Amino acid sequence: MFRLNDKVAVVTGAGSGIGAAIALLFARQGARVVVLDLDESAAADTVERIRATDAKADATRCDVSDAAQVRAAFAEIDARLERVDVLVNNAGVAHVGDLEGTTEADFDRVYRVNVKGFYLCAQAALPSMLRQGSGVILNMASITALVGVPERFAYSMSKGAVLAMTMSIAIDYMKRNIRCNCICPARVHTPFVDGFVARNFPGREAEMLQKLSEYQPMGRMGTPEEVACLALYLCSDEASFITGQAYPIDGGVLVT
């Protein structure tokens, strides 16, 4: 069960964190993984970790918010591998701030990566999926698409758009055997979180990490590997009857 043998899986933002965990798990389950990341060194590191397990992976530097770069990346993938079975739209940026604390530049940056980037990659992957008569698109949304979270105005906006985009793609391509779902994590402990806390709360790292953990009623943050396991299920043939859905992985946030 949950094998991805002979499938080509493109994972954006797979240089670290959740994206890297998804890429590693998918490769372990038999997929040929293409790691797309703006950070070329980080992408290469993920590929090296995958190849160390005798699995197959390639790295492509790509700014998902740049239409020309996205088109070029997917054209190269299609020419070389001749198919895209799975796209995981994971690359994203965060922003902390309420309406007053969000500048136009902040808003545009979050929208450009978290919304436009998902649109561009999904649109670029679609021709391969239509040609082969099947495909899966998995979008990384957030618990902020489902509930209000303080000081996450722009980020919540972007993830709400991802949720709506997911349902729209699902209904438009359901009859073409292309599924689209999204995952809505609460806080997940990644290197990004550690870096954010270190930059913004020097000397108070332990206190802030505890505060972030306590937001989830289970008393901890999630792990990238836990999100990756849900991603694997949704992208596998075992989930072939599921489309247009948002899956919270939230440590109990929605039931309190």
Q: What is the pLDDT of residue 5?
A: 97
Percentage of the residues of the chain whose pLDDT score is greater than 90: 97
pLDDT of residue 230: 98
The whole-number average pLDDT for the span 140-154 is 96
> What is the spatial distance between Cα 174 and Cα 153, in angstroms, rounded to a whole number?
32
Q: What pLDDT is attached to residue 192?
A: 86
Whether residue 88 contacts residue 235, with contact meaning beta carbons closer than 8 Å, is answered with: yes
- Looking at residues 22-40, what average pLDDT do you find? 98
Mean pLDDT, residues 65-82: 97
pLDDT for position 50? 98
pLDDT tens for 41-57 read 999 999 999 999 999 99
Average pLDDT over residues 57-85: 97
**What was the pLDDT predicted at 196?**
84
- The string of DSSP letters for 34-79 reads EEEES-HHHHHHHHHHHHTTT--EEEEE--TT-HHHHHHHHHHHHH
- Residue 63 confidence class, pLDDT cut points 50, 70, 90: very high
Could you tell me the pLDDT band of residue 109, with boundaries at 50, 70 and 90?
very high
Average pLDDT, whole number, for the chain? 97
Kindly state the greatest CA–CA separation across the chain: 55
Helices marked H in 92-178: 104-111, 117-132, 153-173
pLDDT band at 256 (very low <50, low <70, confident <90, very high): confident
Q: Band the pLDDT of 62: cuts 50, 70, 90.
A: very high
Per-residue pLDDT tens digits for 74-99: 999 999 999 999 999 999 999 999 99
Domain with CATH 3.40.50.720 in the chain: 8-186+223-246
Tell me the one-letter amino acid at 121.
Answer: C
Edge to edge, what strands does the sheet with 8-12 contain?
57-61, 32-37, 8-12, 86-89, 135-140, 178-185, 246-249
Least reliable range by pLDDT among 109-113, 161-165, 177-181, 200-204: 200-204
Strand partners, 11: 35, 88
Annotated catalytic, 155? yes
Residue 200 confidence (pLDDT) above 90: no
pLDDT tens string 182-196:
999 999 999 889 988
Find the catalytic residue in 155, 173, 215, 247.
155
Q: Looking at the structure, give the CATH architecture of the domain made up of residues 8-186+223-246.
A: 3-Layer(aba) Sandwich (3.40)
Burial class (CB in 10 A: 0-12, 13-18, 19+), 195: exposed
DSSP 89: E
